[in-house]
Chains A and B, each alone.
Chain A
């Protein structure tokens, strides 16, 4: 076992998407942030976001990744770039002998995921794909399933609906209006606090957020998905219509060990739920079943003149980010694998890509492992 008192030295390789990753690293006592870095040939908006984060934390921004790695004696990097750059940055860090924490989705290409898995193995480093598996309700679900309270698990279903808007609603485009540019829309989305798949390549909701519910299923079943059948559609957002990507998807799942299940996922609009969305897990076993609302525990807050988009229900006791960092520190200390490693992340990505293909062909698709 490594020295459990060691403070791990972290660099940030691009922070243009979710800054909660590097914030979680900075907030954990076993880690410290030393530098933000990115490639010099990135566009100005990327450099501006990186610089802003670096300034807030009083650390340098170095628009030269190899230089930053060489000069700061790092143990790990945390990556929250556009999705299409995740794996490339991660492979370069792994080849430099650094551990990696990366934002979701793993990549926009399965081949990139495979390249990352190979680099992680070859360099014997640890990789954590950011996830929500340490939410309080997920911890409870895991304990209930593992305790045998519902017997042998044979079916699992996740509903994962984010009640968020994503720009103009479907049908808002007027004759003569140009289609919505995906990247411009995503940059704007992050400015107004909503979420999305920032990057040049348009991604559907299944591709952007599928990691979370599939991560739950993977953790609770400890099984790979073998085959999927999916329906995908665009019902809610003009940006998704214009860029030909889904905002609603349903996926039937066949897993190892005879387990079956399903995923229903969508970005269904802010009007559709009093808080972040209806997110539930239904698991059925030989002795019973369990129904988990992912947002619990929560507190309801209502008041006069409340902004319409403010969540009425607020999650409490959410230590997911801190516990993920605990988990990663444990992996670095002991050599165990983190809760969602490169192989697991790659297999989830493979499930997503298979589902997207199934949605296009209307036929079941085998998941490649």
Chain B
């Protein structure tokens, strides 16, 4: 059944829509779903954001990275005031080539979003470096109000089959470390031992879905909004602009 037929002929048979379409279709599907008044969870943004500005129903962009158990634990500690004011966010994200076929803007969007989310706004200064030796490498340096800062490096050239992720948040009264290095087990099978990363399962997906359901049932805005996606995408664009122009970019207000 086509999506068009689904939305026109069987709209009364479902209460909400979850979209996992390719980027070229995701926004138009979401537009159609929300036009029917259906709460919609949509992945594969940010393409076509402009058509979604006036959604007629709850629209939650999928920011699955926010729902990783480790990230949730860090954010909860910030929100609870345990760490004090956020001072420094440090992220190392190393990916294998098979995870990096998308554009660099899309690749860095999860981390521009995490930075904006944790600091509660967009950066005021952006400085980016890329590697001449490896076009799949980028690092960016963000300055936030109240002297907050983020330093993030992302590479897409780790050997195949696994990745590495480390996130540290230094706050004024405490710190949180969500780090694959802390969560490695060892496999002895001859020669040097191999490190085995303990994965976090797929509670990121279930956590995200639960938030979507809760927002519907509680008739409130979802924890992730289109404005979050727009802000992260705008910062990602500024990161790339800094890399291309080799200039410090003054951030714009997307808060």
Q: How far is the CB of A285 from chain B (nearest CB, A)?
A: 9
Interface residues of B in 107-164 (CB under 8 A from A): 125, 127, 129-134, 137, 139, 141, 143, 147, 149-151, 153, 155, 157-159, 164
Rounded to whole angstroms, the CA-CA distance of A248 and B139 in the bound complex is 19
Interface stretch, picked from B25-33, B40-48, B53-61, B171-179, is B171-179
Interface residues of B in 175-197 (CB under 8 A from A): 175, 177, 181
Interface stretch, picked from A81-89, A103-111, A261-269, is A261-269
Interface residues of A in 152-201 (CB under 8 A from B): 152, 154-155, 157, 159, 161, 163, 169-170
Q: Does residue A235 face the partner (Cβ distance < 8 Å to B)?
A: yes
Contact A233 B151 (CB under 8 A): no
CB contact under 8 A between A291 and B88, given known A262-B139, A266-B170:
no
* Contacting residues, chain A, for B241 (C-beta < 8 A): none
* Contacting residues, chain B, for A161 (C-beta < 8 A): 170, 175
Contact A235 B134 (CB under 8 A): no
CB contact under 8 A between A291 and B164, given known A154-B137, A266-B170, A286-B133:
yes
Per-residue contact bits, chain B 58-91, to A (CB 8 Å; 1 contact, 0 not): 0000000000000000000000000001011010
Contact B155 A155 (CB under 8 A): yes
Report the nearest A residue to B128, measured CB to CB.
Answer: A252
Contact B134 A252 (CB under 8 A): no
Q: Does residue A282 face the partner (Cβ distance < 8 Å to B)?
A: yes
Contact A268 B175 (CB under 8 A): yes
* Contacting residues, chain B, for A288 (C-beta < 8 A): 158-159
Chain B interface mostly: strand
Q: Does residue B212 face the partner (Cβ distance < 8 Å to A)?
A: no
Contact B149 A233 (CB under 8 A): yes
Contact B172 A262 (CB under 8 A): no
Q: How far is the CB of B195 from chain A (nearest CB, A)?
A: 9
Contact B131 A260 (CB under 8 A): yes
Report the nearest B residue to A263, measured CB to CB.
Answer: B151
Interface stretch, picked from A131-139, A214-222, A272-280, is A272-280
* Contacting residues, chain B, for A304 (C-beta < 8 A): none
Q: Does residue B106 face the partner (Cβ distance < 8 Å to A)?
A: no
Q: Does residue A258 face the partner (Cβ distance < 8 Å to B)?
A: yes
Contact B133 A233 (CB under 8 A): no
Contact A284 B151 (CB under 8 A): no
Contact A260 B88 (CB under 8 A): no
Report the nearest A residue to B82, measured CB to CB.
Answer: A271
The 9 A-B pairs with the shortest beta carbon distances in the complex, nearest first, are: A233-B147, A272-B175, A258-B132, A154-B133, A231-B149, A260-B129, A235-B87, A229-B127, A154-B131
Interface contacts beyond A231-B141, A266-B87, A284-B155: sample of 15 additional A-B pairs, CB < 8 Å, sorted by A: A157-B139, A161-B170, A231-B147, A235-B85, A250-B88, A250-B149, A264-B151, A269-B173, A271-B174, A272-B174, A273-B175, A289-B94, A289-B155, A289-B164, A291-B166
What are 5 inter-chain pairs, A to B, with CB distance below 8 A?
A252-B151, A269-B173, A271-B174, A272-B175, A278-B168
Task: State the A residues within 8 Å of B (CB).
Answer: 152, 154-155, 157, 159, 161, 163, 169-170, 229, 231, 233-236, 248, 250, 252, 254, 258-262, 264, 266, 268-269, 271-273, 278, 280, 282, 284, 286-289, 291, 293, 362-364
Task: State the B residues within 8 Å of A (CB).
Answer: 85, 87-88, 90, 92, 94, 125, 127, 129-134, 137, 139, 141, 143, 147, 149-151, 153, 155, 157-159, 164, 166, 168, 170, 172-175, 177, 181, 248
